[in-house]
Amino acid sequence: MTRREFLRRLALVGIGTAVLPFFPSAAEASWYIPSSLPGVAVRPTYLKFGALENRFVTDCIVVHHIGMANNDDVSAETVHQWHLNQGWSGIGYHFIIRKDGTIEEGRPLGTIGAHVYGENRHTIGINLVGNFENAVPTEAQKTSAARLIASLCTVYQLDPVWQSTVKGHRDLNATACPGRYLYAQMPDLVQQARIFFASEEMQAERLRIAERMRAETEAQRARIRQQVEETQRRNGMARPSHPTPSTPNPPVQPPPKKPGLKPNKRPELPKPNQKPAQRRIAT
């Protein structure tokens, strides 16, 4: 669990996990969708999706490539149609990075993607357009990818570390994706992301997010408390406004001492005189 999820669930501590089944909105509040990503420009696509599911945990970013043999430059709309034709709800990646460095919006950021088998519920998928088994990504693509990774790590309070919070598709599934040439450059790309991550802009954004998180945590705690009290009132279990003071415990008395038992003693007898005194008889 990341620091973001920890802070969001902190409001539930002390109220009791049994409250959650009655108040699903408490769990839904942990679903975070930023209004915009700091430090990057994302082209909106306004794609139409089928049924999607919210993602409640984000702890890893997974990098992909398109992998087409002809190394074409394709749009998020094109990939979206491909995935719809396969019976999916829509494009499985959250972002597409074109060859000119343009970042395009894919699947909504707060939803579960369809990009890495068995690992979709906690990851974000970024796809760099191209076939990097045969070609190399453009410099514009790598710069945009580094900035996007730094921005996402800022929003989700992650430390951009290669093979930890940032991985290639092949690290999680048996596949050549994201291609040998892009995969070989990923350590340098993530190092560049760390430089962007350490910038004043991103540091200020992390402080702003932390402040907002504290405010949201307090507001969420107040909402849950209000819902709990409302349920108690409906069930005739209203909490008293002034709790009854508890009676102090009586002082602890030491246990009584047991009477001492003295062993039976024989009466003291005079010691026998080994040499009795002789009487002198007067003559």
> Is 208 a domain residue?
no
Mean pLDDT over 236-265 rounds to 64
Helical residues (DSSP H) of 11-86, grouped into ranges = 24-28, 76-85
- Domain co-membership, 16 together with 66: no
Computed over its alpha carbons, how large is the radius of gyration of the chain? 37
Distance (Å) of CA 32 to CA 4, 43, 198, 237, 262: 9, 20, 23, 34, 79
Q: Cα–Cα distance between 61 and 165 in angstroms, integer?
A: 6
- Domain co-membership, 192 together with 218: no
Mean pLDDT over 1-28 rounds to 37
- Domain co-membership, 88 together with 176: yes
Q: Which domain holds residue 4?
A: 1-30+214-239
> Is 25 a domain residue?
yes
Domain count, the chain: 2
Query: What CATH number is associated with residue 62?
Result: 3.40.80.10
- Domain co-membership, 178 together with 91: yes
- Domain co-membership, 25 together with 45: no
What was the pLDDT predicted at 247? 61
> Is 144 a domain residue?
yes
Neighbours of 42 (CB within 10 A): 19
- Domain co-membership, 140 together with 49: yes
What was the pLDDT predicted at 34? 74
pLDDT in tens, 123-154: 999 999 999 999 999 999 999 999 999 999 99
- Domain co-membership, 65 together with 156: yes
What was the pLDDT predicted at 62? 98
CA end-to-end span of the chain, whole Å? 121
Q: Cα–Cα distance between 22 and 1 in angstroms, integer?
A: 24
Task: Spell out where 34-136 has E strands.
Answer: 42-43, 60-65, 95-97, 103-105, 123-128
pLDDT in tens, 193-211: 999 999 999 999 989 888 8
What was the pLDDT predicted at 7? 41
> Is 260 a domain residue?
no
SS3 10: helix
> Average pLDDT over the chain, rounded to whole?
82
Q: Cα–Cα distance between 37 and 42 in angstroms, integer?
A: 8
Q: What are phi and psi of 96, to 5 degrees?
A: -120, 130
pLDDT in tens, 84-137: 999 999 999 999 999 999 999 999 999 999 999 999 999 999 999 999 999 999
**pLDDT > 50? residue 186:** yes
pLDDT confidence band for 272 (50 / 70 / 90): low
DSSP 111: B
**pLDDT > 90? residue 49:** yes
Lowest mean pLDDT among 40-49, 77-86, 181-190, 267-276: 267-276
